[in-house]
Structure 1
Amino acid sequence: MRNIVKQHNPMNSPIHTNLKKPHLVIIGCGMACGKLLEALIKRDAEHYHISVIGEENTPNYNRIMLSPLLAGEITQEALILNSLAWYEANRITLYSGEKVIHVNTDRKSLTTDVGTELCYDHLVFATGSRPAKIPASGQHLKNIFAFRTLKDVEGILQVVHKAKKALVIGGGLLGLEAAYGLALQGVHTTVIHRSSHLLNRQLDSAAGALLQTSMEALGVNSILNDEVASFEGSEAVKTATLKSGLTLSVDLVIIATGITPEITLARQVSLACNRGIKVDDNLLTSDANISALGECIEHKNTTFGLVAPIWDQVEILADRLIYSRQSPYVQRPSPTKLKVSGIDLFSAGDISEKTDDQVILIQDTASHIYRKFILRNQRLVGIVLFGDVQGGNTYFELLDSQQPIPHLLPPLLLGDLTTHSAIAESAHLGSENDLTGATL
């Protein structure tokens, strides 16, 4: 019986594929790869012989759930999206724990760091991203971690019970979710964020202030408008010095300042790259035999870090690979939610107001409720909901459709399209200089 699932190939034995089927090889075994595999199988499970090469020692898992794993809310097994048994059942060859080090585009072949050699008919780059770096010195010290992989979280969990004070660098989605996980483990946690408010890409300053207060109630403090200049310690980190001059005692650090598309191999192959691997509307690279999707790509000067657009890319690519259907990928806005228990937050679109925008603002200060809608040319272009996210998906559909919605303005003033019109009469449209809207 042929070994469908392979973990390393120490004898460098040749890989026998069904010559009647084209060989599709995917580099990278993350969430984008897993979703693409499912989409291909759904369309035609017998169309390709498929091989997947992943650097990590596990099959694809749900990276989004790393923070609940850190918090102790789920088990490691719960992260796995497609088990080894699933790969075997679908006759997909998986090479886990292997890194592709060379691709010969003329021969349409590749080699891994353990000597595995494969030929392909079509190649897909799903190499994902790597953690963004910070310019602080002393990052070689022990107990300083990224927050990107299962291995990162395993390392953190080995030391978290001995830690008393933790520092999380980055007040974005990933950083806040990591900080929440540490707080649930009983560690005094502080977030360092170089911007003036948390989630500055998703929230305005008012909602950011509410978020900061809510995080403090969960045991996570914040230091804003500052950055780490250096880490100090003999073997393990003991202190962190900020650019402001403040020195903090710390014995655990997580760096979560964003991601950078992983394009190292793509550059070696001479694929066209900028910040990411450049792809056209069909997700083809500059090589007609190589496609790419996910966090490693750049499409029309945009890179991607959220799941929703990558799922759209999966459908486009699967249709082309199976049906030869040329359906162009079109970028769409994606909603943002924070996975922190007790904090309800929803954001989508362009939250920066322009001079001629109309702004609807509904606030309940006592209840920490903040609902903001930005309209441009009678179209909904931005949404910020905090404390009360009722109707978030409905608003997002309006934003995504980009249809004029003047007929919906009266109920929209209420913030949920459902409550009494009498309240709407007390609200009014504002401009950049009049953002009071309805204060309820």
Structure 2
Amino acid sequence: MKKQKLVLIGNGMAGINCIEEILKNSSTMFDITVFGSEPHYNYNRIMLSTVLQGDTKVDDITLHDRSWYKQHQIELYTGETVIKVDTDKKVIRTDKNREVPYDKLIFATGSVPFMLPIPGADKEGVVAFRTIEDCQKIINISNNHKKAVVIGGGLLGLEAARGLLNLGMEVDVVHLAKHVMERQLDQTAAQLLQQELKEQGMNFLLEKVTEEIVGGSRVEGLRFKDGSVVEADAVIMAVGVRPNVQMAMDSGIEVNRAIVVNDYLQTSTPDIYAVGECVEHRGTVYGLVKPLYEQGRILAKHICEIEEVGYQGSTLSTQLKISGVDVFSVGQFQPDEASKMITQYDELAGIYKKIVLKDEKIIGSVLFGDTKAGNKLLEMVSKQKVITDEEKMLILQASNEESQVAAMEQTDLICLCNGVTKGTIIEACQTQGLTTAEEVKKCTKASSACGGCKPLVNDLLAYVQSDEFDEVIEKETMCGCTTLTDEEIVMEMQLRELASVQEVMKKLNWKKEHGCSVCQPALQYYLGMIYPEYETKQESLFINERMNATLQEDGTYSVTPQMYGGMTTAEELRKIANVIDKYQVPNVAITSEQRVHLMGIKEEQLESLWKDLDLPLSSTYGNTVQNIKTCIGETVCKCDKQEALGLAVEIEKKTDYLTTPYRIKMGISACMHNGAGSTTKDIGIIQFDRGWEVYVGGSSGRNARPAQLLCVAETKIEAYEIVLGFIQYYRETAKYAERSWEWIDRINLLHIREVLFDQDLREQLIEDLEYDTYQNKKVLLSNK
């Protein structure tokens, strides 16, 4: 197969990370060419402040040197700028008159520093802080001058100011707002940070609007709109960036604030993608590493023709060490009327913690001085989990180096930017003998992006090397018959086109020839999902077009007439009563799902009993969508139940004969009295005056578990579609025997919402569900 030509415009972190993901997915699909305007290999722009501060050298922040490009046969042009994209001929042109054709093109042009349009901005000594060259200019200035002003009290400005202090300069920080880093910190945390930085030597000029940079050919100072003046030999502009989109606009690609992309990072022009700071997705432009890397993973899968849900946006967080001070923020950290907050302030230790909650769920947080709970907070904000008292104490208590990492689960993230878990780092340490943070970075990429997790990586290394460490990394295999996980087995089944249980066991080197009670049904389920026409034999069932019976322990059978929505008629009840009399059915019960259960039927009676009964029978044996419990005829409530009952009927008819990873119990309540116990079911629906509340992930077993609110549907049809989409997505992505709540905890309720709220994805899920139901029913009927 002929390779496609892929051109990447931009040699920065977002673009090259995307190329890495593409190479992971398909190393032979593309011939890759990269253009970078800067005369350097790919480097970590976030770590420029450490170069300015003298802590590292340029070589130390280089992420990929020439050997990496050569190893992957990537053609790299540094110091060369793409100036035009001919979208008709599919050719790019550079400032060196080079023309390169493409099949696929990725814009990763990033951002350019925003320079205030004020008089004097073009004077000598006024520089931005964005590139290696900018760093060198500032270092050169410090050799001959001693007074600098940084315009901008955001993260970049403060890091530049710290570097200038290290270079021996006096530094004033000018900022428009009342306190620094107002987008990431509340006033208390900001004031603590300002006090710490003042003690380090910085001076702050807040609520100042620069009117003019004064001086001759070289900067001599700043004049503000309030008439005050400050002297300066150098001015560092750190007031923000703007997406670098001019070339995209000139090429006819749709641009708003940045290059407009869809959920697969496609632009308005065919075969052209965009990723990183130059991208606008659903009206949002991201500038932090984590969302840019998430975009790269989605883009890479789509361009490699791998099915992917699509980019749904990111939960923004900041966890960084600024001038030796740890700060963290995430989500909505300013409370409103609908939220509450918990604060803790230890003035002596210089530690401040603030958690903002809504309906007992964390929606935002700010940490200062002790940020080790940051990753946990980000997870809780993203997953919208109800916080327990124990978790509150864990976040608010004073942490020490070992207890924090020891308390973390192995699935918890250490490095947010690259998605590296605690377990991944421990496994790498144990299998490859890693002992330093630098070795961990090279092996796992943890701390290779923003660097904010480096203290946590060091803490984890200290814990691993301590006497207290006793954790073992164990891969969660399907069962004792195999060394493979469920995910690995399913992938191999698809790649090798394995189509039977025995073939899977033989090809994948099963330890037991015929498997066990765990893997046998799991493999049958996965085969049924991969091949909906796959035939399974269930000896406990007798099946024909309308009827089934379930084998009991005493050798007799039970039969349950299907009453969709728990509703029946006089005619149906007469038929049931006549059959009970004629066949002397010994045990008859009303189930909790409002069905009549006939028990104690002999095998030889089944055929004639079915014929006399002449009713559809419940097909909810085993792992299926169980009969829906509804609230019918409660005297305490006089609400209209017809809409809710009708919804139950429609869902039950749609999910007949449908297998699931584990039994799905459902309840539909017609009003807030919740007569069906809908908030303790796998799926629960409650009708109220403004629509339908849909709950998921509940359990009414011995260890009862409340369901979480998935959404509020405005109409019955929307509730119906959300429920069917949820069931199908659970079928497609859950492990066999994984309960709905376990699945939700594993893949994140927020992610599930994003999938189901996408109309196109939801329609596709429902279409797949209908096809699977049809195939399952067809197979069952063929086995009669």
| TM bucket, shorter chain | 0.7 to 0.9
1:336 aligns with 2:306: no
Once the two structures are TM-superposed, the CA of residue 404 in structure 1 deviates from its matched residue by: 2.2
User: Which ranges of 4 or more aligned residues in structure 1 deviate by more than 4 Å?
Assistant: 406-410, 415-419
- Separation of aligned partners in 2, 1:72 and 1:243: 35
SS in 2 for 1:271: coil
- Separation of aligned partners in 2, 1:69 and 1:329: 34
1:102 aligns with 2:88: no
Partner of 2:48: 66
Q: 2:220 aligns with which of 238, 243, 259?
A: 238
Cα 1:395–1:229 shift into 2, 3 Å? same
Cα 1:158–1:405 shift into 2, 3 Å? same
- Separation of aligned partners in 1, 2:92 and 2:39: 20
Partner of 1:158: 140
Partner of 2:242: 260
1:352 aligns with 2:334: yes
Partner of 2:3: 21
Partner of 1:33: 15
Alpha carbon RMSD of aligned pairs, Å?
1.7
Contact 2:115–2:121, Cα closer than 8 Å, also in 1: no
Contact 1:348–1:383, Cα closer than 8 Å, also in 2: yes
Partner of 1:319: 301
Q: 2:175 aligns with which of 183, 188, 193?
A: 193
- Separation of aligned partners in 1, 2:312 and 2:272: 20
Once the two structures are TM-superposed, the CA of residue 334 in structure 1 deviates from its matched residue by: 2.7
Partner of 2:96: 114
- Separation of aligned partners in 1, 2:232 and 2:72: 48
Once the two structures are TM-superposed, the CA of residue 208 in structure 1 deviates from its matched residue by: 0.8
Once the two structures are TM-superposed, the CA of residue 121 in structure 1 deviates from its matched residue by: 0.2
Cα 1:417–1:401 shift into 2, 3 Å? farther
1:270 aligns with 2:270: no
Once the two structures are TM-superposed, the CA of residue 42 in structure 1 deviates from its matched residue by: 2.1
SS in 1 for 2:64: coil
1:166-190 deviation digits (Å, cap 9, x = unpaired) = 1011111101011111111111111
Give the number of the structure whose residues are more often helix, by fraction: 2
Once the two structures are TM-superposed, the CA of residue 396 in structure 1 deviates from its matched residue by: 1.6
Contact 1:345–1:388, Cα closer than 8 Å, also in 2: yes
Cα 1:409–1:393 shift into 2, 3 Å? closer
- Separation of aligned partners in 1, 2:397 and 2:285: 31
Once the two structures are TM-superposed, the CA of residue 118 in structure 1 deviates from its matched residue by: 0.7
- Separation of aligned partners in 2, 1:409 and 1:265: 49
Contact 1:391–1:416, Cα closer than 8 Å, also in 2: no
Contact 2:353–2:396, Cα closer than 8 Å, also in 1: no
**Aligned partner of 1:332: which letter?**
S
- Separation of aligned partners in 2, 1:159 and 1:165: 10
Once the two structures are TM-superposed, the CA of residue 326 in structure 1 deviates from its matched residue by: 3.3
Contact 1:363–1:369, Cα closer than 8 Å, also in 2: yes
Aligned length: 401
Contact 2:115–2:128, Cα closer than 8 Å, also in 1: no
Q: 1:123 aligns with which of 98, 105, 118?
A: 105
SS in 1 for 2:218: coil
- Separation of aligned partners in 2, 1:171 and 1:303: 21
Partner of 2:194: 212
Q: 2:60 aligns with which of 64, 78, 86?
A: 78
TM-score (norm 1): 0.88
Cα 1:87–1:218 shift into 2, 3 Å? same
**Aligned partner of 1:305: which letter?**
G
SS in 2 for 1:231: strand
Q: Name the stretch that deviates more: 361-370 or 112-121.
A: 361-370
- Separation of aligned partners in 1, 2:210 and 2:177: 13
- Separation of aligned partners in 2, 1:70 and 1:410: 39
Contact 2:148–2:172, Cα closer than 8 Å, also in 1: yes
Partner of 2:376: 394
Once the two structures are TM-superposed, the CA of residue 338 in structure 1 deviates from its matched residue by: 3.4
Partner of 1:57: 39
TM-score (norm 2): 0.50
Q: Name the stretch that deviates more: 122-131 or 36-45.
A: 36-45
Partner of 1:228: 210
1:207-259 deviation digits (Å, cap 9, x = unpaired) = 11111101111111111111211111212111111122111110011101111
Contact 2:319–2:374, Cα closer than 8 Å, also in 1: no
- Separation of aligned partners in 1, 2:265 and 2:271: 11
SS in 2 for 1:49: strand
Contact 2:139–2:167, Cα closer than 8 Å, also in 1: no
- Separation of aligned partners in 1, 2:395 and 2:370: 15
**Aligned partner of 2:291: which letter?**
P
- Separation of aligned partners in 1, 2:253 and 2:42: 25
SS in 1 for 2:317: coil
Paired-residue identity, %: 39
Contact 2:197–2:323, Cα closer than 8 Å, also in 1: no
SS in 2 for 1:295: coil
What residue ranges of structure 2 are gaps of 5+ in the alignment?
404-784
What residue ranges of structure 1 are gaps of 5+ in the alignment?
1-18, 420-440
Once the two structures are TM-superposed, the CA of residue 335 in structure 1 deviates from its matched residue by: 2.1
Q: Name the stretch that deviates more: 172-181 or 316-325.
A: 316-325
- Separation of aligned partners in 2, 1:409 and 1:68: 35
Q: 2:165 aligns with which of 170, 180, 183?
A: 183
- Separation of aligned partners in 1, 2:251 and 2:323: 44
**Aligned partner of 1:316: which letter?**
I
**Aligned partner of 2:261: which letter?**
V
Contact 2:8–2:34, Cα closer than 8 Å, also in 1: yes
Once the two structures are TM-superposed, the CA of residue 332 in structure 1 deviates from its matched residue by: 2.1
Cα 1:90–1:223 shift into 2, 3 Å? same
Once the two structures are TM-superposed, the CA of residue 359 in structure 1 deviates from its matched residue by: 0.2
SS in 2 for 1:232: strand
SS in 2 for 1:339: strand
SS in 2 for 1:208: helix
1:281 aligns with 2:263: yes
